[in-house]
Amino acid sequence: MQFNKKHILDIESLDPEEISMILDTAEGMKEISRRPVKKVPTLRGKTIVLFFQEPSTRTKLSFDTAAKRLSADSISISKASSSIVKGETLIDTVRNLEAMNPDIIVLRHSSSGAPHLISKRVKSSVINAGDGIHAHPSQALLDMMSVREKKGKIRDLKISIIGDIAHSRVARSDITGFSKMGANIFVCAPQTMIPMGIENLGCTVSPNIEACLDEADIVMMLRIQKERQGNTLFPTEREYALRFGLDKTRMALAKKDVTIMHPGPMNRGVEISSDVADCSNSMILEQVTNGVALRMALFYLLSGGSRHADSN
Amino acid sequence: MQIRIKGARVLDPGNIDDKKDIIIKDNIIQAIVDPGESEFKAEYQIIDAENMLVVPGLIDVHVHLREPGHEYKETIETGLRAAVKGGFTAVCSMPNTNPVNDNGQTTKFIINRAKELGLSKVYPAGAISRESMGESLAEIYEMKQAGIAAVTDDGKPVENANLMRRALEYCKDLDIPIFVHAEELSLVNGGSMNEGSVATRYGIKGIPNAAESIMVVRDIALAELTGARVHFCHISTKESVEAIREAKKRGVQVTCETAPHYFTLTDEDVKDYNTNFKMNPPLRSRGDKQAIIQGLTDGTIDMIASDHAPHSVIEKDVEFDMAAFGIVGLETSLSLSLKLVQDKILTLEELVNKMSKYPAKLIKLNNDIKPGNRADLTIIDPEMSFKIDPETFESKSRNTPFSGFKVKGGTFLTMVNGRIVYQYE
């Protein structure tokens, strides 16, 4: 099977077969990171631009590591180092990048739809590394990879996502992706953080955290953005933790073998207590490990690779 | 030289609906005669309008001409060329130019420039508040002397309810209508399309219906308090239509307009982050579109105005949330509105009322097709079929969501002061 997508813009535009193919490829890639020499020459001579208009540490590091393990040349530019601060438009900046003939452009941007906009203007492949509050496909794919690895399947699992759904691109992509793969998704948050019509993406809005946690296979906690405190969304972190924080007592409502996930960075003591974050059910760090493999798979597939990656 | 419009159906609701010839001399409608009558008398320039429809000149009460200040988007000239091509013999220009039309000088500049051009007539709307900052009243009397037909801070709301109250009282004496841009900014809160499933899916921050209707309800209350004439611009929601319907029933002096995009499109048409579908208020849900159509049918919505808002690629070829709000409309408004007649939502008479007679009444013009009146006429070809092509626009800007739309019916000829200012070729 050939991977036919030119860009990875969101989960919505991937069908279940393509998602499976990406996850399969990523599983194969994982082994490379365990080798003593963690590098294969697969993408030697390819140029990957990491254009992060918005601050990011782990996603950028993950893409960068993925590029290097496949021997691609990665170049990073940020908002501060680009001409955007000088008033250049996104399209002009990207056209300039394009003139240097990159093969793949990875874009993180604060505006929803920015990767879609540039994908129409460039010859390179575009990977969305997070756009506004819209999508974060590589994160959702690595989440699916992690769940599949842990549970052996995705279909029919009860997956509960708790936190600021309204402002989370991770939540949107996870809901879309997991529901495409047949899971039952529940979301829970104060109503101020539930966007209108979210159920149409394929989830059930649950009235309270207890119902949401009940018999859950996967619990995914989202970061509460501290800067939103005192805004109109919730009164205090303290009250948020009281009402929606995941601690051991609440965790006990879920299945015994529940898996706890978090896209990071965590606010310990707010949405997740330290003992939950560090317990054996938590696979938060494995998500990070899988992230590298998953992004290697994306680079590989967009460069024309087929399912079985192995170094050539 | 006299002009004779021959063989058309002349439709001026409440006045005339018959196959007649119109004879025009020296800017004035000289006579309306039976076809063929008194043909021998004079030398005529004949306009063969067989199978056409002659109506009182169309009036668009909501247009952004952008000059002075934003000439790269539109000039008075390009805007008025677009207007006459769209069949409009008169427009109201919005004051959010640079400088803002909040003074007699700017008003005079706009009117004089329009007179020089001799295309559509311009009845400018002046600002309610100085620089439209919503803080203190602009010099409305002076602007009225200079020729404004209305006041508005369009582009933004008058947030301070007390200032709005005072503006209404002040304008009541001057007998000037206030055009209300109804928007509660704290509810908009950075949104750039209709709040709902589509916005959620695209990750675009939403604007709830209440951001509009809450201000409509407020200003209905202020219209009641003051007895002034309030006209609501670009109504887009079900709740606003309901509030206005109910207010009219109570006898409050309010009128309102909607724009063709609100009865033609919904938020489901916003696709692929295409910024030509971004305007303020935003395209709403199917239920809202239905309510707008209902409002047009039952007369709650008095008129159709395009909210012609030209923007260049600089504002539009960018990220969706960064893009300017607004679309051009002068050259598509008539054709899109004729669809309401084709779909039997409005009768032809009702459409002419909503695009000509009621707007005239709002700004106190008499555009009846009667001997002695100025010859401001629009000749419509109801059978003309075409695809909307932005490349053919007279407007400087191309920001329309209707590119490629198939429509039937359009402007055959536009006459202002007895002069042919546009003719279809």
Residue B396: per-residue pLDDT: 98
Task: Answer yes or no: is pLDDT of B198 > 80.
Answer: yes
Q: What is the DSSP string of A139-173?
A: HHHHHHHHHHHHHS--TT-EEEEES--TT-HHHHH
Mean pLDDT of all residues in chain B? Answer: 97
Question: Based on the domain organization, do A260 and A129 belong to the same domain?
Answer: no
Interface of A with B in 63-92 (CB under 8 A): 89-91
Alpha helices in B195-285 (DSSP H): 197-202, 210-226, 238-249, 260-264
Contact A114 B319 (CB under 8 A): yes
Q: Which of A91, A109, A112 sits opposite B204 (nearest CB)?
A: A112
Task: Say if CB A219 and CB A248 are below 8 A apart.
Answer: no
Asked if A109's CB is within 8 angstroms of B201's CB, the reply is no
Helix %, strand %, coil % for chain B, to 5?
35, 25, 40
Tally: H helices and E strands in chain B = 14, 19
CA B353 to chain CA mean position, Å: 13
Decide: A111 and A132 in contact? Cβ < 8 Å.
yes
User: Is 60 exceeded by the pLDDT of residue A306?
Assistant: no
Contact state of A133 with B203 under an 8 Å Cβ cutoff: yes
* Cβ-based neighbours of B248, under 8 Å, separated by 6 or more: B254, B300
Q: In this structure, which topology does domain B2-54+372-423 adopt according to CATH? A: Urease, subunit C; domain 1 (2.30.40)
Dump pLDDT digits (tens) for B266-310: 999 999 999 999 999 999 999 999 999 999 999 999 999 999 999
pLDDT digits (tens, 9 = 90+) for A154-177: 999 999 999 999 999 999 999 999
pLDDT digits (tens, 9 = 90+) for A99-133: 989 999 999 999 999 999 999 999 999 999 999 99
Decide if A22 is inside a domain.
yes
- A112 part of contact set with chain B, CB < 8 Å: yes
A270: domain CATH number is 3.40.50.1370
Verify that A207 and A268 share a domain, yes or no. Answer: yes
Q: How confident is the model at residue A2, as a pLDDT?
A: 85
Once rounded to an integer, what is the mean pLDDT over residues A207-234? 86
The pLDDT, as a whole number, for residue A307 is 44
- Residues A191 and A281 reside in one and the same domain: yes
Q: How far is CA B31 from the centre of its chain?
A: 29
- Predicted pLDDT at A309: 45
- B307 noted as active-site residue: yes
- Gap from A15 CA to chain B (nearest CA, Å): 17
CA separation (Å) from B138 to B143, B160, B419?
A: 9, 15, 36
Q: Tell whether the model's pLDDT for residue A88 goes beyond 90.
A: no
Alpha-carbon distance A118 to nearest alpha carbon in chain B (angstroms): 9
B323-338 pLDDT, tens digit per residue, is 999 999 999 999 999 9
For A223-256, b/e burial (b = at least 16 CB within 10 A) is bbeeebbeeebbeebeebbeebbbeeebbebbbe
Q: Chain B partners of A114 at a C-beta cutoff of 8 Å?
A: 319
CA B378 to chain centre: 15
Confidence grade of residue A310 (pLDDT, cut at 50, 70, 90): very low
Do residues A260 and A246 touch, judged by C-beta distance below 8 A? yes
| Count of alpha carbons within 13 angstroms of residue A2, beta-carbon side | 5
Q: Where are the domains of chain B?
A: 2-54+372-423, 57-362
Mean pLDDT computed over A179-192: 96
Which pLDDT score, from 0 to 100, does residue A311 have? 42
CB A185 within 8 A of CB A178: yes
Domain that holds residue A162: 137-287
Both A103 and A152 in one domain: the answer is no
Looking at the structure, do residues A283 and A184 belong to the same domain, yes or no? yes
**In this structure, are strands B53-56 and B377-387 parallel, antiparallel, or unpaired?**
antiparallel
Is B57-362 a CATH 3.40.50.300 domain?
no
Question: What mean pLDDT is predicted for residues B367-381?
Answer: 97
Is A112's CB within 8 Å of B198's CB? no
| A198 has a chain B CB within 8 A of its CB | yes
ipTM confidence: 0.92
- Say if residue B83 is exposed, middle or buried (CB neighbours under 10 Å; 0-12, 13-18, 19+): buried
A100/A223 same-domain check: no
User: Smallest Cβ distance to A132: which of B196, B197, B203?
Assistant: B203
A129 belongs to a structural domain: yes
Model confidence at B44, in pLDDT bands (50, 70, 90)? confident
Q: How far is CA B133 from CA B150, B157, B158, B275, B375, in A?
A: 17, 9, 8, 27, 39
Is A40 among the domain residues?
yes
- How many other β-carbons are positioned within 10 Å of the β-carbon of residue A216? 23
Mean pLDDT of chain A: 92
- Asked if A275 contacts A247 with a C-beta cutoff of 8 angstroms, the reply is yes
Q: pTM of the prediction?
A: 0.94
Burial class of residue A215 in the structure, from the number of CB atoms within 10 Å of its CB (0-12 exposed, 13-18 middle, 19+ buried): exposed
Name A161's Cβ contacts closer than 8 Å, sequence gap at least 6. A171, A174, A175, A185, A186, A187, A188, A203, A220, A222
Q: Are residues A170 and A255 in the same domain?
A: yes
- Cβ distance B320 to A201 less than 8 Å, yes or no, reads no
Q: DSSP for A39-103?
A: ---TTTT-EEEEEESS--SHHHHHHHHHHHHTT-EEEEEETTTSGGGGT--HHHHHHHHHTT--S
Look at residue A312 and tell me whether its pLDDT is greater than 60. no
Residue A85 pLDDT > 80, yes or no?
Answer: no
Look at the block and give the residue holding tokens 């969101």.
A10
Q: Chain B partners of A134 at a C-beta cutoff of 8 Å? A: 202-204
CA nearest to B198, candidates A104, A261, A12, A16: A12
Per-residue pLDDT tens digits for B75-131: 999 999 999 999 999 999 999 999 999 999 999 999 999 999 999 999 999 999 999
The pLDDT assigned to A86 comes to 72
A141 and A159 co-located in one domain: yes
Segment A60-78 mean pLDDT? 95
Average pLDDT over residues A69-95: 85
| % pLDDT > 70, chain A | 95
| Same domain (yes/no): A147, A234 | yes
| Per-residue pLDDT at B161 exceeds 70 | yes
Residue B20: its H or E element: strand B16-25
Q: Tell me, yes or no, whether A141 lies in a domain.
A: yes
β-pair partners for A162: A188, A221
Chain A CB within 8 Å of residue B199 CB: yes
Residue B66 C-beta-side C-alpha neighbours within 13 Å: 22
Cα end-to-end distance, chain A, whole Å? 18
* A187 and A262 both lie in a single domain: yes
Q: Alpha-carbon distance A121 to B70, whole Å?
A: 28
For chain A, how many helices (H) and strands (E)?
A: 11, 9
Chain B partners of A170 at a C-beta cutoff of 8 Å? none
- Find the closest chain A residue to B196 by CA distance: A196
Is residue A57 included in any domain, yes or no?
yes
**Per-residue pLDDT at B3 exceeds 80:** yes
Q: For residues B111 and B79, is the Cβ–Cβ distance under 8 A? A: no
pLDDT tens digits, residue range A278-299? 999 999 999 999 999 999 999 9
Element (H, E) at B125: strand B125-126
pLDDT of residue A225: 77
Residues A180 and A231 in one domain: yes
